[in-house]
Structure 1
Amino acid sequence: MYQQILAPIGGSLALSAAVASSPLIVLLVSLGVLRLRADVAAACGLLAAVLIAAFAYRLPATPLLSGIAQGAAFGIFPIAWIMVNAVWVNRLLDASGLLSVVRRTFTSLSDDRRVQALVVAFYFGALLEATAGFGAPVVVVAAILLALGLAPIRAATVAMFADAGGAAFGSMGTPIAALAKAASLPAEELGRMTGRQSAVVALFVPFVILLVLDGRRGVHRTISTLHRVRRRPHCARSPPT
């Protein structure tokens, strides 16, 4: 049975980790710097991973091909499948006219675009991440932000940053369950550790969203707006007849 080599590069764990991360770097450089198509960039990243696994980690052909097949299957089901259905639901809402209802619901909370983005991306996106995950929050939130009037690049950027807070518990805690199975560690302990770390990350996510939307002044103005909304008196309810 194959035993994984933890430090194959010069016996250094740090250097081995740097080499092991090179497929991800190849993918990001291919997409962001070389502007290659997504399928070509993915193929380059896969080729880099295969070369490192075969020559650096001396992974046999059978588990190597099995890992490639499992990764492809996991990428199609459920990740790509959920994203395709999320896009389909968004188009269905748009065609039925219900997307305007969603837009009015979020715009009725505040006229401030920054407050709308916080509610949609951070709060509603966290709900979508917990229930669906696998990229669905980014797709749905970006579509709603586009409907609210944000530019495409800014809407996608806000949706990506907002998803950082709860990604570890996405899709009913699937990442925690997968990590527990891969590392042979108790899922409860991993969940507690991840929860403490995610809370720290989530504390800074709203401020990052505001910085993306409107810079440093956006942070101060949004805090002032939220303070005014919080102090706004509620409408008195009419007595029952």
Structure 2
Amino acid sequence: MHWTQVYDPFGHWWLSTLVAALPIIVLFGLLAGLKVKPHWCAIAGASTAVLVAIIFFKMPLALAAMSFGYGVAFGLLKIAWIVLAAVYLYDISVETGQFEIMKESVAGITADRRLLVLLVDFCFGAFIEGAAGFGAPVAIAGAFMIGLGFRPFHAAALNLIANTAPVAWGAIGTPVHTLAAVTALPESDLNAMIGRILPFTAVIVPFWLVRSMVSWSETFEVLPAILVVGISFAVTQFLWSNYVDSNLVDIMGGVVSMVATVAFLKFWKPKRIWRFD
């Protein structure tokens, strides 16, 4: 079945953009504004997307139905399955007590809260993003941080900041796979170009992460550790995306930056340990 999409059906880009954004507006309006249960919000958003495609963009009904079915299958098999497995492993680690052991191990590396943010939110968070994606670092690493003495809102905010650098390769590279499928461009080329852009962000984010928690002077006190975290992650991100694949970019970046930072902290310590007052 052949159908050519008209990107500006109303002849005014702003109106066409507004109509195309209706599914997102409905989804977040119900979720954040009216506090409707998430599964009903998802159904309403998906239904709105189908209606907008058929009514305003003149998509054939049969093609809209097939596209909807493909989207559901893609979401269940390539996205939900990854999240389900990640949550399952997390629950196992909690029930067996391994999660507590991990927290104690990290706390034993350093008592400085600035360095803990780098290790847990950035390094460990990048690993979780690469393995699960879709907000899992905020939930899992956030719980980790709360166990280390951070306030819940503070832990969530810091994890959201940290989750900017690795998000392009979240859930075993799902964003890159999806981009390649939608654009029909070679995945290796897309992966390489993303890997040449984001390393700069990976160097900046650790600095921004610490600065959002403490003052400028207190941030510069741990600048060597910030550079080790950012550069090790950025270099791994660049090399893996350009010369290996898109699946393990975040996982390897998180592992390498974690190992590099822990090794660095064996030989270097900040002049003073920063804790919450």
Name the TM-score class by shorter chain.
Answer: 0.7 to 0.9
In the alignment, is residue 37 of structure 1 matched against residue 37 of structure 2? Answer: yes
The aligned counterpart of 1:8 is 9
The aligned counterpart of 1:223 is 220
Query: Which letter does structure 2 place at the counterpart of 1:108?
Result: G
Q: Which has the higher contact order (CA 8 A, sep 6+)?
A: 2
TM-score (norm: length of structure 1): 0.80
1:58 deviates by 0.9
CA 1:25/1:188 → structure 2, altered by over 3 Å: closer, same or farther? same
Could you tell me how far apart the structure 2 residues matched to 1:173 and 1:134 are? Answer: 12
In the alignment, is residue 125 of structure 1 matched against residue 125 of structure 2? Answer: yes
The aligned counterpart of 1:167 is 167
1:227 deviates by 4.5
1:53 deviates by 0.9
Please say which of residues 202-211 and 20-29 is displaced more in the overlay: 202-211
Verify the 8 A CA contact 1:90 1:143 in the aligned structure 2.
no
Could you tell me how far apart the structure 1 residues matched to 2:98 and 2:90 are? Answer: 10
CA 1:225/1:197 → structure 2, altered by over 3 Å: closer, same or farther? closer
Q: Deviations over 1:197-234 (max 9, x none)?
A: 3224334433443355x2x52x5424314548969857
CA 1:75/1:231 → structure 2, altered by over 3 Å: closer, same or farther? closer
1:137 deviates by 3.4
CA 1:183/1:78 → structure 2, altered by over 3 Å: closer, same or farther? closer
Structure 2: gaps (5+ residues): 226-260, 269-277
The aligned counterpart of 1:238 is none
Verify the 8 A CA contact 2:86 2:132 in the aligned structure 1.
no
Give the 3-state SS of the residue equivalent to 1:121 in structure 2: helix
Query: Which letter does structure 1 place at the counterpart of 2:83?
Result: M
Q: Please list, as runs of the form range in 1=range in 2, the aligned pairs for 1:83-232 lying within 5 A after superposition.
A: 83-210=83-210, 212=212, 214=213, 217=215, 220-225=217-222, 227=224
The aligned counterpart of 1:237 is none
Verify the 8 A CA contact 1:82 1:134 in the aligned structure 2.
no
Q: Deviations over 1:73-120 (max 9, x none)?
A: 333334233323323322322222222210012112321223212211
Query: Which letter does structure 2 place at the counterpart of 1:159?
Result: N
State the percentage of identical aligned residues: 32
Which stretches of structure 1, 4 residues or more, deviate above 4 A after TM superposition? 226-234
1:157 deviates by 3.1
Verify the 8 A CA contact 2:27 2:45 in the aligned structure 1.
yes
Give the 3-state SS of the residue equivalent to 2:109 in structure 1: coil
RMSD: 2.9
Could you tell me how far apart the structure 2 residues matched to 1:40 and 1:4 are? Answer: 28
Query: Which letter does structure 1 place at the counterpart of 2:198?
Result: S
CA 1:79/1:138 → structure 2, altered by over 3 Å: closer, same or farther? farther
The aligned counterpart of 1:239 is none
Could you tell me how far apart the structure 2 residues matched to 1:29 and 1:10 are? Answer: 27
Query: Which letter does structure 1 place at the counterpart of 2:182?
Result: A
CA 1:200/1:33 → structure 2, altered by over 3 Å: closer, same or farther? farther
Query: Which letter does structure 2 place at the counterpart of 1:165?
Result: A
Could you tell me how far apart the structure 2 residues matched to 1:148 and 1:73 are? Answer: 39
Structure 1: gaps (5+ residues): 235-241
CA 1:87/1:38 → structure 2, altered by over 3 Å: closer, same or farther? same
CA 1:227/1:164 → structure 2, altered by over 3 Å: closer, same or farther? closer
Give the 3-state SS of the residue equivalent to 2:89 in structure 1: helix
TM-score (norm: length of structure 2): 0.71
In the alignment, is residue 60 of structure 1 matched against residue 57 of structure 2? Answer: no
Verify the 8 A CA contact 1:115 1:222 in the aligned structure 2.
no
Give the 3-state SS of the residue equivalent to 2:221 in structure 1: helix
Could you tell me how far apart the structure 2 residues matched to 1:53 and 1:143 are? Answer: 40
In the alignment, is residue 22 of structure 1 matched against residue 22 of structure 2? Answer: yes
